[in-house]
Structure 1
Amino acid sequence: MSRIGKLPIKIPANVEVSYNEAAIIVKGQFGTLEKTIPNIIQIEQNANDLTVKLKNQTRSNRALHGLYRTLINNMVIGVSEQFKVTLNLRGVGYRAVVQGSSLVLSLGYSHPVTMDIPNDISVEVVQNTTVNLKGCNKENLGLFASNVRSWRPPEPYKGKGIIYEGEIVKRKAGKSGKK
């Protein structure tokens, strides 16, 4: 049995969970998430917690046990609290602006980079160089953050680029002249 899979999932008071053989639906203050689950996964609901169990124990089924417990837990956390990702723009002239439903980035190219913001993600720009992303779906939030970051990943010589908050960029020495 998976160590993570056997842990119960605490359900906050403002979250509703409904499930059947094929899917689980989690409703909360910040939205509604739905996930299809394989038929080998069985969900049991007690007073204020969920338990994810397996119908039969095989090697591949045990691998899915912890995965689906974590996915369901992320759904519960997302609709009750929301996930947040902060991106910092480091570089001369790097800025971000939200215009309507798109994020416009100035990243040193000859043209501004325009990205459409998905409906389930909210974007806030602080001080032109800090971008706060919030959303209830952790998967979509991480995908959008990595797409934004892919325009200028951090480089090791000067440390310029789009950097996640708390990320440490290992710096290289670069060239040293003749001595």
Structure 2
Amino acid sequence: MSRIGKKPVTVPAGVTATVSGQQVDMKGPKGALSFTATDDVTITLEGNEILVKPRGTSKRARQQWGMSRSMVANLVEGVTKGFKKELEINGVGYRAAMQGNVLKLSLGYSHEVNFEVPQGVTVTTPKQTEIVVEGIDPQLVGQVAANIREWRAPEPYKGKGIKYKNEFIFRKEGKKK
């Protein structure tokens, strides 16, 4: 039994949910999202709760059960609260600034890195050393944050680079004489 899959997803007030076959559509104050489940699960809307049940006892059906329930829960959270990833920049002269729809990064290269922000995600820079990525789609928010971090991942000796706010960088000791 899937512990996650057993729990129903509650649809809060202000959010409209429609289930048609394997398609789940959500509309809320932040926007609209949809998810198409595989044929291994059955999704039903009962009152203000969405239930996900497996269509058999196969391993794949049980795997899709918990995953589909998590995806529906992410739809609800996305259209109500949204998702957010915070990045920190460490290093002398490393900084970030937004100019229109382009994130300009100075990361110690001989040139400035221009990162085009995709549709559906908002990127802000409250400080020169902080980047906040927000949106309603958790996959897109995480991918954009990972793409920004990829330009200069933190190195283990001094910790210079772009890291997630709650990320721990395992430090190494330098050379000894």
- Per the normalisation by structure 2, the TM-score is 0.96
Residues 22, 42 of structure 2: 8 Å contact kept: no
Partner of 1:45: 45
The answer as to 2:125 corresponding to 1:125 is yes
Distance, in Å, in 1 between the alignment partners of 2:22 and 2:51 is: 16
Q: Give the superposition deviation at 1:48.
A: 2.2
Distance, in Å, in 1 between the alignment partners of 2:47 and 2:21 is: 20
Distance, in Å, in 1 between the alignment partners of 2:32 and 2:42 is: 21
- The residue type equivalent to 1:174 in the other structure is G
Q: Give the superposition deviation at 1:106.
A: 0.7
Q: How many residue pairs were aligned?
A: 177
Cα deviations by residue, 1:124-176 (Å, 9 ceiling, x for unpaired): 10111101111000000000000000011111100111010111111111111
Q: Give the superposition deviation at 1:46.
A: 2.4
Structure 1: runs of 5 or more not aligned: none
Taking only aligned residues, the RMSD between alpha carbons, in angstroms, comes to: 1.0
Cα deviations by residue, 1:82-111 (Å, 9 ceiling, x for unpaired): 111100000111111111111111101011
Distance, in Å, in 2 between the alignment partners of 1:44 and 1:148 is: 38
Residues 90, 161 of structure 1: 8 Å contact kept: yes
- Per the normalisation by structure 1, the TM-score is 0.95
Partner of 1:175: 175
Q: Which runs of structure 2 are paired with 1:52-71 in the superposition (5 Å)?
A: 52-71=52-71
Q: Give the superposition deviation at 1:47.
A: 2.4
Could you say what secondary structure the match of 1:4 adopts? Answer: helix
Structure 2: runs of 5 or more not aligned: none
- The residue type equivalent to 1:173 in the other structure is E
Residues 121, 141 of structure 2: 8 Å contact kept: yes
Q: Give the superposition deviation at 1:40.
A: 2.4
Q: Give the superposition deviation at 1:44.
A: 2.0
Partner of 2:85: 85
Residues 6, 52 of structure 1: 8 Å contact kept: yes
- The residue type equivalent to 1:175 in the other structure is K
Partner of 1:149: 149
Distance, in Å, in 2 between the alignment partners of 1:100 and 1:127 is: 16
Q: Give the superposition deviation at 1:19.
A: 1.6
Residues 96, 128 of structure 1: 8 Å contact kept: yes
Cα deviations by residue, 1:24-49 (Å, 9 ceiling, x for unpaired): 11111111111111122211222222
Residues 156, 171 of structure 2: 8 Å contact kept: yes
Residues 89, 95 of structure 1: 8 Å contact kept: yes
